[in-house]
Structure 1
Amino acid sequence: MTVHKDDEKSVLARIFDTGQDRLKQFTQLWSLQTLTDLPDRLRNLWQQLIGSYWFIPTACVLIGILLAPLFVTIDQHFDRETIREITFAFTGDDEAARAIMTAIAGAVLGVAGTTFSITIAVLSMASSQFGPRLLRNFLTDTPNQFVLGAFIGTFSYSLLVLKSIHQSDVAFGVPQLAVTFAIIMAIICALLLVYFVQHMVHAIQASHVIQNASNDAINNVYYWYSDHCDLQHQRDVEHHDVEQFHSWPATPIYAPRSGYIQQIYLQSLITLTQEYGGVVQIHVNLGDYVTDKNVMGHFYQRPANHPNNRQKTTTPHLVVVPRAPDGTFWQRFAGCVRLEQRLAHSNDIAYSLGQITEIAVRALSPGINDPKTAVNCVQSLTSCLSIMMRRQPPSPYHFYVPAHDKDTPETVVKPQRVAILALVTHTPKISDFINVSLGEIRRYAAADLMVLKALCQAMVDLNYARVNKAQQQTLLHELNLIKRAGEENLSYQELVDDLVAMCHQAEQFMTDNDAKHRHFRYASDFATHIRQALQTQSS
C-alpha cells in the first residue's frame, strides 16, 4: 500500500488543525474575558480528563516512577541493622531481590492484561445491552481505572527498582526497603484483583447501571434548579427591556462551527454583551446539534438614547457605547460556546434523562424483551422528574449588575439597584422533559401492558410533586396519551379494559383537590369482584 504525498499533507494538516484548536481552547481558558467562567471551564476540563481511560492509570505510572528512586535513596541513607529488626522486611541478597522483583513485574503485567480484557468484554456487552452512550459511565468508573493504574504503576516501580539492584555487598547493593514496598504492593494488587472481579459483577447489573444514570441526572437537576425563588431576580425580570428588546436592531448569530452544544458560558456572554451595549438571545439549548450556517441566536443592539447608555462623568461603571458586532465580537463569542463533534457528558439534564430512556427503549426491543428493566427505568425517571417539579426552574433572563451594587457594605445606604438585561437563554419546560423521557418510553411500549401501567402509576406519583395547574394539565395530557396508546395497540380487549380502568381511576384521583393527602391504589373490576365474594363467604 502506497501513501501519496497529498495524503501525507492532509494528515499533517489535520494534525496541525487539531493542535491549533487545542491551543485556542487553552488560550480561551486563561484569557481575561473568561475568568468569570473559570470554575465552569476547569470543571469541564476535569470531566474530559476523567472521561478518558488513560488519566488515572497514567498518574499511577508517574507515581510509581517517582517512588522508585525515592525508596532507593532512602535505602542508601537508612541503617541496615534497623531494617533487619523489622519482621516483615526483606533482608535477602541481590539474587533473591532480583528474582522477587522480576516475578512481581511479570505477574502484575499479566494481571493488568487480564483486567483490560475483562473491561473490554464488559464494555462490549454493555454497548449491546444498554447502548453505546452508556459506555462513558463504565469508562469513567474510578475503581476500574484505579485498579488498572495500580497494576501498571507497580510494574513500572518494579522495573526501576530492579535496575538499581547491584551485585555487590548486601549492606549496600540491595534496596531492602524498596523491595519490601514492592512485596506489599504485590499483595495489595492481589486483593485489588478480587475486588475488581466483584465490582464488575455488580457494575453490569441493570439496576446498578440505572441507579448510576439516575444519580447523574439528579446531580444535574440540583445544578440547574434551585431550592428557593430569587425575589430580587423576579423584580429584575419585570424590567421593561424584557418586553421591548425584540424591537431593537437585530443581528443574527451563526454557530462558529458544526457540532453539539456542550456548554454555554453565561458570565462570559454577559460581559461580552455589556461591552457591546446589547442583548444576546440564544435559541438553542445544551445537547442541540448546529451547523455553521445555523442561526443559533440574535444580538439586539440597544438604541443610542437608551437610559442605560449613560455618560462617563456621571456613572463610569455604566459607560456603554452601543456598536454592531465586529470581528472581535465573533471571536469572543466562539469562546463563550463549547461545541463538540460528538455528544458527550455535560451538565445537560436531557442527556442524563436520555441515558435512562435509552436503557428502557433497548429493554423493550424484540431482541432483549425485558419489560421489567423498562419499568425500573420509568421509576427512576419518575424520581428525577419529581425533584424537578418541586424545585425552582432556571430563569431564561440574565442580567448584568454593576460591581458597586454587589460590593456596597450593608452599613452604607445603597443606591438604587441597577440590573441591565444582557442575555436571554432557551430553558426547556417540565413538559419537554416528560415528553423526551416518559413519552419516548410510551411510544415504544404501546403494546406492553406492564410498562403502560407503570407509566400510568408514574403520572400519579408525579401528581404528588406538582406545584401548579400547568403541571397537572401536562400530567393529565400524558395520561390520556397512555390510555390511547393502549387502546390502539394492546392485543386483547381485556387488557385494554384493564388499562382504561386504571387510567380512569388515576384521572379521578389526580383531579381531586385532596389527592396529595391520600394514597392511590388501582383496583381492577375482577379483583374487586373476588374481594366482595370472599367477604360474602366469610360473613
Structure 2
Amino acid sequence: MAVSEKPKTPMPTRMLNAFLHGLKQLPQLWSLQTLTDLPDRLKNLWQQLIGSYWFIPTTFVLLGILLAPILVTIDQHFDRKTVRDLSFAFTGDDEAARAIMTSIAGAVLGVAGTTFSITIAVLSMASSQFGPRLLRNFLTDTSNQLVLGAFIGTFSYSLLVLKSIHKHDVAFGVPQLAVTFAIIMAITCALLLVYFIQHMVHAIQASHVIQGASNEAIRNINYWYQDHCDLQHQHNVKAAQSDIEQYQTWVTSPIYAPLSGYLQQIYVESLTTLALDYGGIIKLRSNLGSFVTNKNIIGYFYQRPADHPSLSQKTETSQLAITPSAPDGVFWQRLATCIHIERRSSHSNDIAYSLGQITEIAIRALSPGINDPKTAVNCVQSLTTCLSVMLRREPPSPYHFYTPSSEQTNLDNHPDNKEANATVQPQPVAILSVITKTPTISDFIDTSLGEVRRYAISDLMVLKALCQALTNLSYAQVNDAQKKTLLHELTLIERTGEENLSYSELITDLVAMTQQARDFIESEDAQWHYFEYVGEFAGHIRQELQKGYS
C-alpha cells in the first residue's frame, strides 16, 4: 500500500513564514525589559568595531569620498582671484593638477601597502614572542588604524578630485582648493609615515606591551571593584538574608547554555528583569570568560513559593502582582539575549583575561626558545600592581537586586491608595533576583603569580621576584584570609625552589628570603616598615664595609 507523502512547503513560503514569526517575537525579545543594559550593549558593539582592523580605515575612505565633491563644489563658487592671492594655494593649469593628483594617489597607495606589510611583520613577531592573545592589542592600536586610514582616505580623495579635472572647461577646469587640500594631505601622510615607524619601534618593545596589558587590566579592575563599600547594597543583602538561606530549597530548574563557546558578557540588568518577571532567582555557576558547552548546565532558576511576600509587591514594568511561573520557551529566548557567548575568547571586561595576557608574556619569556627572565620579572611586577589595586578595593558582590524606582514606591504609598496598601504587606525595597559567580583574590593570585611560579621552577631570579611581589602585596592586605593566601603562595615558592634549584647555595638563598618574607607578612606592624632581603653573604660584605668606613 502506497503511503501518500505530505507535500513539501516551497522554500520561499518557508522563508516568509520564518520571517513573519521572527517579527512576532521581536517586540517580546527586544523590549525595553530585555534592553535594560543598552549602554553596555552599545559599548560592547563599539569595542567590537574598534577591535576590527577595517572600521577606522573604512571611515576615512568614506570621509574622503564625501570630502572630494564638497571641495570641488566650493571651488566652483569661489573667487579664483582670491585663491591666487594665497601664497600656498595651487594655481597651475589642468595638466599640472592632473600630474600632481596622479602622483599623490600612486604614492599614498604604495606607502599604504608598505605600512600594511610592516604591520603584518610586527604581528607575526608579536605572535611568536608574546603570544597569539596579544595580537588584539596590536590590531586595536588606534594609531596604526588612523595612519592606514589617512593613506587610503587620501587615495580615494585624490581619485575623485582627479576625475573632476576637466581640460576643456576653462572656467572651472581646475579645482584649485581641492588640489591644494590634496597637497596638504600628502605632506601630512609623509609625516604620519615617520610617526608610524617610530610608533612601531616602541610598540614591539616588551616593556611597552606589558604596560599596555597592565593598563587594560587596571581598567577592568576599576570597572568591577569599587573604591568604597556600598552601604545600600549591604543593607539589601541583610534584608534578603532569608532568601539567601532558603532559595536552594525552592523549585529548581536547570539553565542550559544556548551554544558552545566562551561566556564573554553577562547583562545583569536584563537577567534581573527576567528573573523578576518569572518570580524567581537566577543563579549562574559559570564565571565570565568560562568555556561553556552547548546544552550543558550553567546555572539554575529558583522559583519562589506562591506565598512568598515579595510576589505581592507591584513592579514598575507590569503594575501588577508578580505570578511565579516555570521557565518556558520565551524564558529561554530572553535568556539567550541576556548572555553573550562567542566561539573564541576575546576582549571583554574579564579581569582574568587581562591578567592572563601578562601571565602569557611571562611564561613565553621563561621558555627555552626565548629565555628572557628579565621580561618575566617585569610581568611579575605588573601583576603585583594590578593585584595590589584589587586588594585595596571592595570586591564585587555576587548578589544583584531589583530596586523599584522612587516614583513607583511613592505611588504605592500614596494616601489615595490606602485601600490597596491595606492588602499589601510591607516589603523590603530590593528584591534578590540574580546571583553570579565572582572569583576571589586567591583565584587571581593562583592564575597569575601561581602560573608564573609553575614555569619558573628553576629560575632563582623570578622566584625571588615572586617573593618580593608577595611582600609588596602584604601592604594592601585588609583581612586574615588575604594574609593566609599570601603565606600559602610563599610556601609553594619555597617548596618549588627546594625541589628544582640546582645548587644548595641557591636553595639556601631562596629559603632565607622566603623566611624573611614570611616573618614580614606575619608581623602586625609590617605596613609601617620597608622590606629588603639581605642574604647571608651580602650581609657579611655590608658589615665589612661598615667596619672599613668606621
Normalised by the length of structure 1, the TM-score is: 0.92
CA distance in 2, matches of 1:191, 1:521: 48
- The question of 1:435 aligning with 2:463 is answered no
Tell me by how many angstroms 1:266 deviates.
0.2
CA deviation profile, 1:254-274 (whole Å, cap 9, x unmatched): 100101000000000000000
Matched with 2:11 is: none
**Distance change in 2, residues 1:265/1:312 (3 Å):** closer
Q: 1:516 maps to what in 2? A: 527
Distance across 1 between alignment mates of 2:25 and 2:133: 25
Map Cα deviations across residues 474-512 of structure 1 (whole Å, 9 max, x no partner): 001001101100000001000000000000001111111
Deviations 1:78-120 (A, max 9, x none): 0000000000100110000000000000000000000000000
What amino acid is aligned across from residue 162 of structure 1 in structure 2? L
Q: What are the equivalent positions in structure 2 for 1:174-213 lying under 5 Å apart?
A: 174-213=174-213
Counterpart residue number, 2:257: 255
Q: 1:416 to 1:252 in 2, by over 3 A?
A: closer
**Cα distance 1:73–1:407, how it changes in 2: closer, same or farther (>3 A)?**
farther
- Residue 423 of structure 1 aligns to a residue whose secondary structure is strand
Aligned partner of 2:13 in structure 1 is: none
1:500 partner SS: helix
CA contact (8 A) 1:57 1:146 kept: yes
Residue type at the aligned position of 2:321: V
SS at match of 1:173: coil
Letter in 2 for 1:161: V
- Match 1:373 to one of 365, 368, 375: 375
1:486 partnered with 2:497: yes
Alignment partners' CA distance in 2, 1:131 and 1:377: 14
* Residue pair 1:53, 1:145 contacting (<8 A) in 2 also: yes
Report the equivalent of 1:8. Answer: none
Task: Say if 1:405 and 1:418, in contact at 8 Å, map to a contact too.
Answer: no
Q: Distance in 2 between matches of 1:29 and 1:208?
A: 44
Aligned to 2:323: 321
* 1:475 aligned onto 2:486: yes
Work out whether residues 456 and 479 of structure 1, in 8 Å CA contact, stay in contact via their aligned partners in 2: yes
Cα distance in 2, alignment partners of residues 305 and 113 from structure 1: 70
Instruction: Tell me if structure 2 keeps the 8 A contact 1:309–1:318.
Output: no
Alpha-carbon distance in 2 for matches of 1:171, 1:311: 77
How far apart in 1 are the matches of 2:274 and 2:50? 31
Percent identical across equivalent pairs?
73
Q: 1:408 to 1:121 in 2, by over 3 A?
A: farther
- The residue identity in structure 1 corresponding to 2:233 is H
Distance 1:113-1:311 versus aligned 2 partners, 3 A rule: closer
Q: Which residue of 1 aligns with 2:343?
A: 341
Task: Write the distance in 2 (CA, Å) between the matches of 1:206 and 1:125.
Answer: 12
* Contact 2:53–2:140 (CA under 8 A) maintained in structure 1: yes
**SS of residue in 1 equivalent to 2:115:** helix
Question: In the alignment, residue 449 of structure 2 is paired with which amino acid?
Answer: L
Distance 2:206 2:186 in 1: 33
Counterparts of 2:495 and 2:372, CA distance in 1: 23
Cα deviation, residue 310, structure 1: 1.3
Residue by residue, what CA displacement relative to the aligned partner does 1:118-177 show, whole Å, maximum 9, x if unpaired?
000000000000000000000000000000000000000000000000012544210000
Which residue of the partner structure matches residue 4 of structure 1? none
TM-aligned CA distance change 1:406 to 1:343, over 3 Å: farther
Residue type of the partner of 2:136?
R
Map 1:5-84 to 2 at 5 A: 31-84=31-84
After TM superposition, the structure 1 stretch with the greater mean CA deviation from structure 2, 74-83 or 228-237, is: 228-237
Q: Report how many aligned residue pairs link the two structures.
A: 517
| Counterpart selection for 1:401 from 392, 400, 403 | 403
Give the counterpart letter for 1:334 in structure 2. A
Taking structure 2 as the reference length, what is the TM-score of the superposition? 0.90
Tell me which of 468, 480, 498 is aligned to 1:457: 468
Paired position in structure 2 for 1:90: 90
Pair 1:425 & 2:436 matched: yes
**1:23 offset after TM fit, Å?**
11
CA distance in 2 between partners of 1:510 and 1:142 (Å): 43
Kindly report which structure 2 residues correspond to 1:238-387, keeping only aligned pairs within 5 A, or say none. 238=238, 239=240, 240-310=242-312, 317=319, 319-387=321-389
Two-structure CA RMSD over aligned residues (Å): 2.4
> d(CA) in 2 for partners of 1:303 and 1:387?
42
Displacement of 1:531 after TM fit? 1.6
- Greater displacement, 210-219 / 284-293: 284-293
- Shift in alpha-carbon separation, 1:523–1:359, aligned structure 2, 3 A: same
Q: Determine the C-alpha separation between the residues in 1 that align with 2:70 and 2:450.
A: 59
Tell me, in whole angstroms, the C-alpha distance in 1 between the residues paired with 2:151 and 2:34.
40
Cα deviation for residue 401 of structure 1 reads 1.2
| Change beyond 3 A, Cα 1:432–1:523 | same
- Relative to structure 1, the CA distance from residue 417 to residue 172 in structure 2 (aligned partners, 3 Å threshold; closer, same or farther) is same
CA distance in 1, matches of 2:151, 2:196: 12
Q: Aligned in 2, Cα 1:76/1:494: closer, same or farther, shift over 3 Å? A: same
Aligned residues of 1:104 and 1:155 also touching (Cα < 8 A): yes
Report if the CA contact (8 A) 2:309-2:427 is conserved.
no
Letter in 1 for 2:67: L
Tell me by how many angstroms 1:28 deviates. 9.5
Change (3 A) 1:286 1:444: same
Distance 1:506 1:50 in 2: 44
* Gap regions ≥5 residues in structure 1: 1-18
Secondary structure at the counterpart of residue 310 of structure 2: coil
Q: Deviations over 1:326-353 (max 9, x none)?
A: 0000000011010000000000000000
TM-aligned CA distance change 1:405 to 1:364, over 3 Å: farther
The one-character-per-residue Cα deviations of 1:177-230 (angstroms, maximum 9, x if unpaired) are 000000000000000000000000000000000000000000000000011111
Alignment of 1:448 onto 2:467? no
Partners of 1:190 and 1:27 in 2: CA distance = 52
CA-CA distance at 1:30 after TM superposition: 5.2
- State the shift of 1:291 in Å: 0.7
Matching residue of 1:226: 226
Distance change >3 Å, CA 84–CA 254, structure 1 → 2: same
Give how far 1:58 is off. Answer: 0.1
Q: Secondary structure at the match of 1:75?
A: helix
Is the CA contact 1:61–1:149 (under 8 Å) kept in the aligned structure 2?
yes
Alpha-carbon distance in structure 2 between the residues aligned to 1:183 and 1:262: 46
Aligned: 1:390 with 2:401: no
How many Å separate the matches in 1 of 2:110 and 2:134? 28
CA contact (8 A) 1:264 1:336 kept: yes
**Change over 3 Å in CA distance of 1:165–1:311 after alignment to 2:** closer
Query: Match of 2:442, SS?
Result: helix
Paired residue secondary structure (1:253)? strand
